[in-house]
Amino acid sequence: MNPNLTLYIALGFYGAGTLVALLSLFAREKRMQHTGLGLMVVGFLSHTVWIGTICTITGHPPITNLPETASFIAWLVFLAELVLFIVYRVHAASFFVYPLVLILLSVTAVVHEPFAHSPKLLSRLFTAHLLLTTTGVAALLIGLAFGLLAHLQDRALKSKTRGRLWDLIPSLNVCKDVSYRALAIGFSVYTLGLVTGVLWSYKTTAGIVALRTKEVGAIVAWVLFAVVLQSYISGTYRTRRTMVVGAAAFVAIIVAMLGIHHV
């Protein structure tokens, strides 16, 4: 059996789930949102099987190249979304999270590379670097999605007009709280990921850290996320500046990801 079959099944279900969820925005039917979520969950299960297959074939987590990393981040982002849905019953985040998951997994399917065992993953430090960075990025993306929801909710309450998302977005406090927690956790984990990466780099290249697209993107994203987090701590998160910095951080993360080659 083709080991990538479950990847394509996952992609199909993610595509259908995203489409149904986006259509529900116009139809305003709760049943459609549940159907969208159901399709995404089936895709997630298939995605999990695919990740398990790679782990079995290569003997290490699927984070050795861009497609695998994109897939792993998509998997973590959806897992976080699922947990948040169970806790808060939030459908609105799905309008940002589902397309993001779909795009990330599409990258995996399009830029597909053969499974290969990477000797570098024999290093625990390097494995820790990859796992911490990808987990941190997933949490930061969730933090940004909920930050955007908080911003939309704030605008709707201020302008006294309800948009299509009004009923789907949870209270302003919940959005803000989830966003802050996800950013705080994501930032800490991501920082640890960068530190372990620098340590590993020093160890293997005798002290020289190359500044390529991946490294520059990762550092810029770290600085920008620090600014976003600081705005939450200082209470100035509502400003347009925070949203612009958050968007720039998102772009920086994507640039850093695109810079990932084989490890």
Cα 140 to Cα 176: distance, rounded to the nearest angstrom: 14
Q: Which is nearer to other proteins, 147 or 193 (CB)?
A: 147
Distances (CA, A) of 211 to 111, 128, 189, 201: 24, 20, 21, 11
- Using rule CB under 8 A, residue 237 touches other proteins: yes
Cα 75 to Cα 135: distance, rounded to the nearest angstrom: 10
Q: How far is the CB of 85 from other proteins (least distance, A)?
A: 16
Q: Which is nearer to other proteins, 60 or 238 (CB)?
A: 238
- Using rule CB under 8 A, residue 238 touches other proteins: yes
Structure tokens at 15: 């595509």
- Using rule CB under 8 A, residue 92 touches other proteins: no
Structure tokens at 44: 């997630």
Distances (CA, A) of 38 to 91, 92, 141, 186, 215: 12, 15, 22, 27, 37
Q: Which is nearer to other proteins, 154 or 215 (CB)?
A: 154
- Using rule CB under 8 A, residue 230 touches other proteins: no
Q: Are the C-beta atoms of 43 and 14 separated by less than 8 Å? A: yes
Q: Which is nearer to other proteins, 56 or 171 (CB)?
A: 171
- Using rule CB under 8 A, residue 153 touches other proteins: yes
Cα 237 to Cα 186: distance, rounded to the nearest angstrom: 17
- Which residue stretch of 52-60, 130-138, 153-161, 207-215 sits at the interface with other proteins (rule: CB under 8 A)? 153-161
- Using rule CB under 8 A, residue 89 touches other proteins: no
- Using rule CB under 8 A, residue 155 touches other proteins: no
Cα 143 to Cα 186: distance, rounded to the nearest angstrom: 8
Phi and psi (nearest 5°) for 60? -150, 165
- Using rule CB under 8 A, residue 240 touches other proteins: no
Q: Which is nearer to other proteins, 158 or 207 (CB)?
A: 158
Angle at the Cα of 44 (from 42 to 49), degrees rounded to 5? 100
Q: How far is the CB of 238 from other proteins (least distance, A)?
A: 5
- Interface with other proteins (CB under 8 A), residue from 1, 114, 160, 240: 160
Residues 20-39 that bind other proteins (CB under 8 A): 29-31
- Using rule CB under 8 A, residue 232 touches other proteins: yes
Q: How far is the CB of 170 from other proteins (least distance, A)?
A: 7
Structure tokens at 28: 């305003």
174 CB-side CA count, 13 A: 14
| Binding residues for other proteins, total number by CB under 8 A | 21
Cα 62 to Cα 55: distance, rounded to the nearest angstrom: 6
- Interface with other proteins (CB under 8 A), residue from 111, 116, 155, 167: 167
Type of residue numbered 224: L
Q: Which residues of this protein are in contact with other proteins, per CB under 8 A?
A: 29-31, 153, 157-158, 160, 162, 167, 170-174, 176, 232, 235-239
